[in-house]
Amino acid sequence: MKRWVVVALLAACGAAPAKLEHTPAAPAQPTRRSAINDQQATIPKTPQVIHLEPMRIEVITDDQGREQVVAYDAGELFDAGNEALIAGRYERALGHYDQLLEDFPDSDLTVPALYNAGLAHEEQGEWDAAVRRYADLATRQGTPRDLVDGVIRMAAVLAELQRWPDAAKALDELLERDDLTPSDRIEGLARLGYVLVESKDYAGAEDILRSAVGYYAEIRDREVLRSDYFVAMSQYYLAQIPHRQFSAIPIRLPDKQTKRDMEAKADRILIAHDRYLETVELANPYWASAAGFQIASMQKEMWDALVLAPIPPRLGPEAAEFYVKEVHRLSRQFLEKALDTHQKNAALDGRGIRTDWTDASKREADKIADILARESTGELVLPASGSGGALHTLDIDPGSASPGSGRRSPAAYVPGRVDL
């Protein structure tokens, strides 16, 4: 058996109206010394009121009939939840945050508690539950910073779920706000561009991503961004558009069609190559290494496409055999370029830059070196089944910075409420 009571704490100088529990504290008036009598001070016209968080007091009766008084407030629950979150005890953290939300629904800490509860769900891969927390946060009376962080976080998780229309809607609404910082706006545009790329709305993505890069060029001399991460992300996904178009173009017969397909692939690969180089020049380690990986991958993809292209049916057996050997000989240059670029990307590790992309380049370099070695002995190697013309990707979310449970927690750039 237990009894409890909630006590609202107010400290006041003078009588305070009963309804001050939910009103901002009245500012203290400055004390001024009189020119005639320096010991006489002006008395404040209104009492000084400090609004403190409510406290919950429970009187608990144990099995032996002994009573114990337990008192706690929202801050203690919030701190306990944060400690559990940092320690990776996510269910315990959620228990503390939920208790705060239930016992202190009017606390100023409900918004950060919802935010951190969303983080706990993300770390467990509970994406739908995380979305619900962030959606609840958006309905609360928080600061603009709270709401912006919550919406961005929600959009990132919706993208993780591949709910592209929902993610785009959330980001469109975010970008309509007139109180975004330059960093927020560039991030919102970068994330929306990513969503549109994944939705295969390449024309829409091109417009959005160009606007992000253009906006950065406009403000960079007068604004300091929190990070260059999302500028580089925008440029990277601008490169992904022609890269994906290049990968989707088949090489077909007859000869005239083959020529058109090859010209179209060459056009797309050149545009993508230049855009990836612009990503590298922005010098963000993550996206620069991603761009380096993709430049090498396009060279390998070109080799894949050429050696898997259909053999002209007019050729006889001997001519067809000679044709295939010549295709492999002439295509070798693309493997050599891919190997060189992957090796340079992997070498970034020696300069203190190690990312998922540099690790991936090490693996790809080994595979390509093996193919070249086998080809040098006269073996005509073919790409693994299903790999011809396929876009090389990693299972990495575009905003990820730290691994979660199984998959990665998106948008980890946002300062966690655990830092409060």
Confidence of residue 62 (pLDDT cuts 50, 70, 90): low
pTM score: 0.78
Distance of alpha carbon 5 from alpha carbon 55, whole angstroms: 9
Residue 163 falls inside a structural domain: no
Residue 322: domain span: 227-398
User: Is 81's pLDDT higher than 70?
Assistant: yes
Tell me: pLDDT of 155 over 80.
Answer: yes
Which position has the token pair 């190690």?
A: 354
Calpha distance 158→91 (Å, rounded): 22
Q: Is the pLDDT of residue 6 over 60?
A: no
Q: What's the average model confidence in pLDDT over 104-115?
A: 92
Task: Note the pLDDT of residue 66.
Answer: 73
Res 30: pLDDT: 35
Q: Which pLDDT belongs to residue 20?
A: 27
| pLDDT for 214 beyond 90 | yes
Residue 85 covered by a domain: no
309 belongs to a structural domain: yes
pLDDT tier for residue 415 given thresholds of 50, 70 and 90: very low
Cα distance between residue 238 and residue 48, in whole Å: 56
Stretch 300-308: mean pLDDT, rounded? 96
Element (H, E) at 58: strand 55-61
pLDDT on residue 56 = 66
User: Which pLDDT value is given to residue 52?
Assistant: 57
Q: What is the pLDDT of residue 98?
A: 97
Looking at residue 393, its pLDDT comes to: 55
pLDDT over threshold 80, residue 10: no
Q: Is residue 321 part of a domain?
A: yes
Q: pLDDT at position 142, please? A: 79
Asked if residue 18 is part of any domain, the answer here is no
Q: How far is CA 186 from CA 179, 191, 219, 337, 418, in A?
A: 13, 9, 11, 34, 25
pLDDT (tens digit, 9 = 90+) per residue, 338-388?
A: 999 999 999 998 899 999 999 999 999 999 999 999 999 999 999 986 554
| Residues in CB range of 401: below 8 A, 6 or more apart | 412, 413
Q: How far, rounded to the nearest angstrom, does the alpha carbon of residue 282 sit from its chain's CA centroid?
A: 18
Q: What is the pLDDT of residue 378?
A: 94
CA atoms within 13 A of residue 367's CA, in its CB half-sphere? 13
Token pair 């253009």 is found at: 214
pLDDT of 44 higher than 60 = no
Residue 9 has pLDDT above 60, yes or no: no
| Domain membership flag for residue 186 | no
Mean pLDDT throughout 317-340? 96
Q: Please choose, from the candidates 330, 334, 324, 339, the residue with its C-alpha nearest in 3D space to the C-alpha of residue 382.
A: 324
Question: Is 203 contained in some domain?
Answer: no
Q: Confidence class of residue 298 from pLDDT cuts 50, 70 and 90?
A: very high
The percent of residues in the chain predicted with pLDDT above 70, rounded, is 75
CB contact at 8 A, 369 and 346? no
pLDDT band at 413 (very low <50, low <70, confident <90, very high): very low
The tens digit of pLDDT for each residue in 237-280 reads 999 999 999 999 999 999 999 999 999 999 999 999 999 999 99
pLDDT above 60 (res 38): no
Please count the structural domains in the chain: 1
Predicted pLDDT at 140: 87
Q: Mean pLDDT of all residues in the chain?
A: 82
For residues 199-222, average pLDDT: 97
More reliable by pLDDT, 72 or 219: 219
Q: Could you tell me what percentage of the chain is helix, strand and coil, using 3-state DSSP and rounding each to the nearest 5?
A: 60, 5, 35
Exposure of 192 in the CB half-sphere (CA atoms within 13 A): 25
pLDDT number for residue 340? 98
Confidence class for position 407, pLDDT limits 50, 70, 90: very low
Confidence check: pLDDT of 296 > 50: yes
DSSP code for 350: G
List the single range of 64-73, 126-135, 210-219 with lowest mean pLDDT.
64-73
pLDDT greater at residue 139 or residue 58: 139
Going 95 to 150 to 134 to 202, the CA torsion angle's sign is negative
Question: Who has greater pLDDT, 414 or 83?
Answer: 83
Q: Is residue 66 part of a domain?
A: no
